[in-house]
Amino acid sequence: MSLFLFPSKTTREMLKKFITVASLCVLSACSTVPITGRRQLSLVPESEIINLAQQQYRQVLDTSKVINSGAQAAMVKRVGQRIQQAVEQYFRQQNQSEQLAGYQWEFNLIQDDSQQNAWCMPGGKVVVYTGILPITQDENGLAVVMGHEIAHAVARHGSERMSQQQAQQVGGSLVSAALTGRSPAAQQLAAQAFGLSTSLGILRYGRNQESEADHLGLIFMAMAGYNPQGAITFWQRMDARENQAAPPEFLSTHPSNGTRIAAIQRELPEAQKYYTAR
């Protein structure tokens, strides 16, 4: 107990160093998420993330069955291009088009009915799996999904997650150094406490990103001419199709569907303004 209640001089010095490093990171390596204005840690250059994403995207396409023709593939490209235009319009209006530097948009449909999923890599590389289409049902429902995934990319959530992992590694190293010379029991107790807190922090961090992508996705789909009200019915359908009990929300990287729907309902009036303004 004395380790935490009465830290040694070495421990106090290590904590001071950790606070100093964290403060410098906050001051010198922060960016701002569009629309929400949230400040985020950004230790990894976006250009580096985009280059890595492009390589991974090619690998996915090379090892998957890409659908290049037909109504569904055309719909994926159409929805993607409309949301792309909305995103570019938003950043242009904010005089922040440089935030999209390096983006080379692609929208592909992959045949995999087992995957009820879609994603967007940094740089605008988007994949939609056929398994999500029965849930999206129509073009507006697909816009909900693609708007959300594209929002993850333009909000630079990938870079933020990597930056957080780097900060966690620094924190873990400092804790280990501060415990040098302590009993094995004290070291194990502190390591467990640190690991638990950082794990739960990462989960909460993931839920915050998901909620933020929901918010941005609503705006982008509305600017693209899709009715954001469709996000409610989409998530209701998603909730109805889940066949197994979800983990407790505090142990999940995603908010529960109920939490998600409630937040979207609060954000709909803002998104509707963009929709009706077209």
- 119, 131 Cβ separation under 8 angstroms: no
149 is catalytic: yes
Choosing from 46, 149, 212, 267, the catalytic residue is 149
If phi over 0 gives left and psi between -120 and 50 gives alpha, with beta otherwise, what is residue 156? left
- 116, 132 Cβ separation under 8 angstroms: yes
CA atoms 123, 129, 132, 137: torsion sign: positive
Spacing of C-alpha 141 from chain mean position: 20
Cα distances (Å, whole numbers) of residue 118 to 76, 129, 175, 196, 241: 11, 6, 38, 30, 16
Tokens of 115: 């995957």
- 79, 142 Cβ separation under 8 angstroms: yes
CA atoms 33, 38, 39, 44: torsion sign: negative
What residues are labeled active site?
Answer: 149
